[in-house]
């Protein structure tokens, strides 16, 4: 199939940065002028990239710190970052479009307990201590319910949870002693510990102490081991099976691509689990305190080190080896030196926390097939002294080399435009670094506590400096002579 102008325009909407757009037009002559066809900006823009998208009429603001332009044909703004409902009302007359409106505790105090239909999420403690609240309707626009949202609403008797909800925070209904009835649009399963609901993201809540009715029927609790995850589920949400103490084993279908943070936290009876090759992301503390796990089945096993099990492609992911694990894929576990690991060329991305805490890793070669290094990928690799970053890499995640205390030097290629939050924070042995002119942004506390760093160039291309990005940095005094660097770069927030 030959891609036409419309198809390539749709495809390019998913590009990460301006370099991708430029390379497309340079590399394929018939797609020259692709950026001119856009009437909105598919990526955040700076002064340089704004000139390349000169037919923009609708300006999208993706992050709160994005540069905003009010020139040319622009007549409307679309705001994607989280905006409080009260602020939305203040700016409503400007006729901008707000994609992520959060209803906060302040909003509830000011505007009442009826959730407006524009709201996408309920904030931390939003309805906490509403002692007169007896029932509440959550509109289908809401996708997230924050931590402690209904804490100590001791008069609350009933609530509905629509199928749109993909995230429910910690202790959401803690202290709701009168809550006896719930309506759940997409009920999946009720175990002795939790209520499972919704798709494609499976979420759950701990069963409130006095709950009696779900969807108009008396609550009936089943053995969690009878739960078969439907193939319609693509993601296991945050704390999905949290403290399911009677769960002994579970089959993860190939439809699953992600495990949320603390997904199986404290499943103390869980003895075995399979991780299919479809999984491209494993959350933090996924199997934390799963003290009975002795066997794991991994569809696409790549390597087993002393600390972690590496698996899958094209996104390489890993898990910390459970304390009592004995068997992987039916064989006794055999741990190798992490420095023997050769990353296959079939890998295109190193996932979040991929090498996190690999304390014996001293060096590693990243193949040119890799285009992205995920958040916290090498954090606390305390023996890592050197690493190559090939020019194929377009993105280095937040906390990527956090507290790599033995790292002395690193070469950043010109393919990188941004250094994330805490990227090199606590790299005490880093002595010098060369920032290429492709860098336009340095994240919050990026080089914080790099006390041995005595040499660093600051190219004029950098227009955004995160707070504390040079805090307690060894070359602080030299950098402070540069008047183009904001003073908040040297303070800790």
Sequence ranges of the domains in the chain: 1-81, 341-493
CA separation for the pair 241, 377 (Å, rounded): 25
Q: Are 214 and 184 in contact (CB under 8 A)?
A: yes
Q: Are 59 and 77 in contact (CB under 8 A)?
A: yes
**What architecture (CATH level 2) is domain 341-493?**
Alpha-Beta Horseshoe (3.80)
- CA 392, distance to chain mean position in Å, is 22
Q: Which residues does residue 363 pair with via DSSP β-bridges, in sequence order?
A: 386
- The burial class, CB within 10 Å (0-12 / 13-18 / 19+), for 179 is buried
Q: DSSP E strands: which ranges in 349-454?
A: 349-350, 363-364, 372-373, 386-387, 395-396, 418-419, 432-433, 441-442
CA separation for the pair 9, 369 (Å, rounded): 25
Q: DSSP E strands: which ranges in 339-398?
A: 349-350, 363-364, 372-373, 386-387, 395-396
Q: Are 330 and 301 in contact (CB under 8 A)?
A: no
Written as tens digits, the pLDDT of the chain (493 aa) is 577 888 899 999 999 888 889 989 998 888 899 999 999 999 999 888 999 998 999 999 999 888 899 887 898 999 999 999 999 999 888 888 999 999 999 999 999 999 999 999 999 999 999 999 999 999 999 999 999 999 999 999 999 999 999 999 999 999 999 999 999 999 999 999 999 999 999 999 999 999 999 999 999 999 999 999 999 999 999 999 999 999 999 999 999 999 999 999 999 999 999 999 999 999 889 999 999 999 999 999 999 999 999 999 999 999 999 989 999 999 999 999 999 999 999 999 999 999 999 999 999 999 999 999 999 999 999 999 989 899 999 889 899 999 999 999 898 999 998 999 999 999 999 998 989 999 989 999 999 999 999 889 999 999 889 999 999 999 999 999 999 999 999 998 7
Q: Are 377 and 356 in contact (CB under 8 A)?
A: yes
Q: Are 335 and 309 in contact (CB under 8 A)?
A: no
């Amino acid at each position: 199939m030959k891609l036409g102008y419309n198809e390539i325009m749709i495809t390019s909407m998913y590009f990460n940065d301006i370099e991708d757009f430029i390379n497309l037009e340079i590399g394929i002559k018939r797609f020259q002028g692709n950026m001119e066809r856009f009437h909105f900006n598919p990526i955040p823009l700076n002064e340089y990239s704004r000139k390349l998208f000169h037919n923009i009429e609708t300006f999208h603001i993706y992050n709160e710190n994005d540069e905003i332009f009010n020139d040319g044909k622009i007549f409307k703004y679309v705001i994607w970052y989280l905006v409080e409902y009260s602020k939305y009302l203040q700016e409503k007359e400007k006729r901008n479009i707000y994609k992520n409106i959060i209803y906060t505790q302040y909003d509830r105090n000011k505007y009442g307990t009826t959730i407006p239909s524009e709201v996408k999420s309920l904030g931390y403690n939003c309805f906490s201590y509403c002692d007169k609240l007896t029932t509440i309707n959550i509109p289908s626009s809401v996708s997230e319910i924050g931590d402690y949202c209904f804490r100590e609403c001791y008069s609350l008797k009933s609530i509905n949870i629509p199928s749109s909800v993909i995230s429910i925070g910690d202790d959401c209904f803690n202290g709701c002693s009168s809550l006896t009835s719930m309506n759940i649009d997409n009920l999946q399963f009720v175990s002795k510990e939790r209520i499972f609901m919704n798709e494609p993201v499976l979420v759950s809540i701990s069963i409130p102490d006095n709950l009696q009715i779900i969807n108009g029927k008396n609550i009936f609790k089943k053995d969690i081991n009878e739960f078969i995850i439907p193939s319609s589920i693509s993601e296991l949400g945050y704390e999905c099976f949290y403290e399911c103490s009677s769960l002994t084993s579970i089959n993860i279908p190939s439809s699953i691509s992600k495990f949320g943070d603390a997904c199986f936290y404290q499943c103390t009876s869980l003895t075995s689990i399979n991780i299919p090759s479809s999984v491209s992301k494993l959350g933090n503390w996924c199997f934390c305190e799963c003290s009975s796990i002795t066997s794991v089945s991994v569809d696409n096993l790549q390597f087993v080190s002393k600390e972690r099990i590496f698996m899958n492609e094209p996104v390489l992911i890993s898990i910390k080896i459970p304390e009592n694990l004995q068997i992987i894929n039916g064989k006794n576990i055999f741990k190798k030196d992490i420095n023997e690991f050769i990353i296959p060329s079939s890998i295109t991305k190193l996932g979040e926390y991929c090498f996190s805490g690999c304390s014996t890793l001293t060096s590693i070669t990243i193949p040119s097939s890799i285009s992205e290094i995920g958040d916290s990928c090498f954090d606390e690799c305390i023996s890592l002294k050197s690493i190559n970053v090939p020019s194929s890499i377009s993105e280095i995640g937040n906390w990527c080399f956090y507290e790599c205390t033995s790292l002395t030097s690193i070469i950043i290629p010109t393919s990188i435009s941004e250094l994330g939050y805490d990227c090199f924070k606590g790299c005490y042995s880093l002595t010098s670094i060369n920032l290429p002119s492709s860098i336009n942004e340095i994240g919050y506390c990026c080089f914080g506590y790099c006390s041995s760093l005595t040499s660093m160039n600051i190219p004029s291309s950098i227009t955004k400096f995160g707070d504390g990005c040079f805090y307690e940095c060894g070359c602080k005094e030299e950098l402070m002579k540069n008047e183009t660097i904001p003073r908040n770069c040297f303070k800790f927030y």
